[in-house]
Amino acid sequence: MSPLELIAASLGVLAVWLTVRQHTWCWPIGLAMVLMYSWIFFEAKLYSDMLLQWVYAVLQLYGWWQWTRGGERHDGRQVSRLTAQPVGLGLLAGAIGSLALGYGMATWTDASAPWWDAALTAFSLVAQLWMAHKRLECWLLWIVLDVLFVVLFVDKGLYLTASLYALFTLLAVQGWRTWRRDLEPVAA
């Protein structure tokens, strides 16, 4: 593990911890982390992962804007729930993204787990978008994804990264509990 990877992983833990606490600094710290990982993946010649970090960088900026200027009054987002239709549409988008990316990776690359990796990537983008809008359901999706990432990384022998995602799973459980408690009561 390089010093840059250690710093990036540490920033990732800090960013998720701040997200659990609904602190807006989670976004610029997350941005720094994904930019570092972009370089790490470039050096490792993992170009798809590098490009994914660029997408995450855009989503970090979007989330930062949503948490500080989004919402109806443009004063930031509050924790809210998704109704059944947006959940269904998000999951459908994740499934379509999984199939498209999985097909591309299985057809045109030598990816070792093209379908599994594609599904985790596509659904991570859905979870990240829900998080940008402070939707409680993002944490349930992150819990499932993080557990599956742990299994994938253990299977690939990436034990340190698997440990990091196990920690992310615990933080996602805490995020679910904290955000559920902070959920504004819905007017009857």
For the segment 121-145, what is each residue's pLDDT rounded down to a tens digit? 999 999 999 999 999 999 999 999 9
Output the pLDDT for position 185: 64
Residue (of 174, 156, 154, 173) closest to 164 by Cα position: 154
Mean pLDDT, residues 109-121: 88
164-185: pLDDT as tens digits? 899 999 999 999 999 999 886 6
The answer, yes or no, to whether residue 27 has pLDDT greater than 60, is yes
The residue among 82 and 157 whose pLDDT is bigger is: 82
Structure tokens belonging to residue 28: 């610029």
pTM above 0.75, yes or no: yes
Paired with 125 in beta bridges are none
Mean pLDDT, residues 143-159: 90
Q: What is the DSSP string of 31-50?
A: HHHHHHHHHHHHHTT-HHHH
The HSE-up count of residue 3 (CA atoms within 13 Å, CB side) is 0
Among the residue ranges 52-66, 99-113, 130-144, the one predicted with the least confidence is 99-113
The residue among 83 and 187 whose pLDDT is bigger is: 83
Interior angle at CA 34, CA 12 and CA 140, nearest 5? 55
Mean pLDDT, residues 98-105: 93
Output the pLDDT for position 188: 44
Cβ–Cβ < 8 Å for 1, 36? no
Residue (of 150, 152, 182, 155) closest to 166 by Cα position: 150
Under the banding of pLDDT at 50, 70 and 90, the label for residue 89 is very high
Output the pLDDT for position 114: 86
b/e 29-67 (16+ beta carbons within 10 angstroms → b): bbbbbbbbbbebbeeeeeebbbebbeebbebbebbbebb
Q: What is the average pLDDT score of the chain?
A: 91
Output the pLDDT for position 28: 97
- The domain spans of the chain are 1-72, 83-170
Give start and end residues of each alpha helix (H) in the chain: 3-20, 26-43, 47-69, 84-108, 114-132, 137-155, 159-182
Under the banding of pLDDT at 50, 70 and 90, the label for residue 74 is confident
Mean pLDDT, residues 40-57: 83
CA 79/CA 180 separation, integer angstroms: 8
